[in-house]
Amino acid sequence: MAQRGHFIPVSHPVLDGNEKLYVGECLDTGWLSANGRFVPLFESAFASYCGTMHAVATSSGTAALHLALLALGVGPGDEVLVPTLTYVATANAVRYCGATPVFVDSEWQTWNIDPSAIEARISAKTRGIIVVHLYGHPADMDPILEIARRHGLFVLEDAAQAHGAQYKGRRVGGLGDAGIFSFFGNKLITTGEGGMIVTSREEVAERARWLRGQGMDPTRHYWFPVIGFNYRMTNLQAAVGLAQLERIEARLAERRQVAQWYERYLDRFEHLLQRPSCQPWARHTFWLYSVLLDRSVAIDRDEIMHALRWRGIETRPVFYPVHTMPPYRSANCSLPVAEAIASRGISLPTHSLLTEDQVRYVCEVLIAACAGGARTRAVSP
Ligand SMILES: *Cc1c(COP(=O)(O)O)cnc(C)c1O
């Protein structure tokens, strides 16, 4: 148990490729801001990775969401369907457009948006559906795309947690009208802060590109016909991003290995913990390996996380459903599956630098904490 006494974080970036070389070029040439050569290089490499015609690099994943929604025509009075079990940025971006997020419950298998719960939430104001590939497991896109087609809605994939994930053999991001990614430091690949919109719809890419740069008229420099944003990615960020993308398959393989270790050491404890499921049509990227406490575990989820922290292991609660947060409570809905998952879910350390010993240690501490709770309840009246 060599790792006892060391802190084990949930996430850790790996910067072992051409990052220094490319950033060095930015410093040497003075091209630090958004006009350097790495921005278009990163964009075209990322577009081809996702199988889309276009990619638009942004200052963050949140900026990518906001720009993508604007480019898809979302505005005041519109409604956009959003899974409630997601990072809050997904819903916030809808609000930035003056539109209203309408929350949809999860399905039990993958925790993603439940396709069978979508149609009941569609109204005359609905413009589109944001699909989140939660923790790296793709959502079931075919039924969602079919519903969207039938109702004339756009589908925007929030793939911020799912770089390289595949749905029926195709990479996520390019499956709907547009997709977005985040390159925050804890994501699968990183640029520190950063994001990307991918799409094969030329007018969507063009509009996003235009609004990203303050909305400047492309043919009349320093003429601004609309109110745009500064959502540009810098050359420094793109230099790191390009180097990260070159090594993405190694990162994905390392995460798959970590997930296999978790499977091995949690395998005999199904009565305490439900492990993440992987559908036969999915390539899960395990952004975070997240487990669900069994109902028989009497110890509170937060107490179990506390016990792990005492033993030097960082964990994260599964996302609190967005409809339960103060700014969104007026939505006043009950989405029981997401609420149940959120109250009993824990995300475990998942990154490329973990060793098998560390994963075994995390599992031992976790099982001991859960088993204590299960026993307590078994002997209490
Ligand atoms: C990380 C994340 C975002 C936001 O990305 P930032 O780069 O942090 O702005 C959006 N949606 C989801 C699902 C995320 O996980």
| pLDDT confidence of residue 6 | 78
Pocket of ligand 1 (CB under 6 A): 60-62, 86-87, 89-90, 132, 158, 160-161, 182, 184, 195
| pLDDT confidence of residue 133 | 98
91 CA from centroid of ligand 1 (Å): 11
Q: Is 54 exposed, middle or buried (0-12, 13-18, 19+ CB in 10 A)?
A: buried
Determine the residue type at 143. P
Q: In this structure, what token pair is assigned to residue 63?
A: 């900026």
Computed on alpha carbons and rounded to an integer, the radius of gyration of the chain in Å comes to 21
Q: Whose Cα sits closest to atom 2 in ligand 1?
A: 160
104 CA from centroid of ligand 1 (Å): 18
CA-to-CA distance for 370 and 295, rounded, in angstroms? 11
Q: Is 30 exposed, middle or buried (0-12, 13-18, 19+ CB in 10 A)?
A: exposed
| pLDDT confidence of residue 218 | 87
Which residues are catalytically annotated? 187
pLDDT digit string (tens) for 247-284? Answer: 999 999 999 999 999 999 999 999 999 999 999 999 99
Determine the residue type at 226. V
Mind listing the pLDDT tens digit of every residue in the chain (381 residues)?
444 457 999 999 999 999 999 999 999 999 999 999 999 999 999 999 999 999 999 999 999 999 999 999 999 999 999 999 999 999 999 999 999 999 999 999 999 999 999 999 999 999 999 999 999 999 999 999 999 999 999 999 999 999 999 999 999 999 999 999 999 999 999 999 999 999 999 999 999 999 999 999 989 999 999 999 999 999 999 999 999 999 999 999 999 999 999 999 999 999 999 999 999 999 999 999 999 999 999 899 999 999 999 999 999 999 999 999 999 987 668 999 999 999 999 999 999 999 999 999 999 999 999 988 655 444 443
| Substitution site in 184, 237, 318 for ligand 1 pocket (most atoms within 8 Å of beta carbon) | 184
| Atom of ligand 1 lying closest to residue 182 CA | 7
86 in Cβ contact with 62 (< 8 Å): no
175 in Cβ contact with 139 (< 8 Å): no
| pLDDT confidence of residue 128 | 98
CA-to-CA distance for 226 and 346, rounded, in angstroms? 44
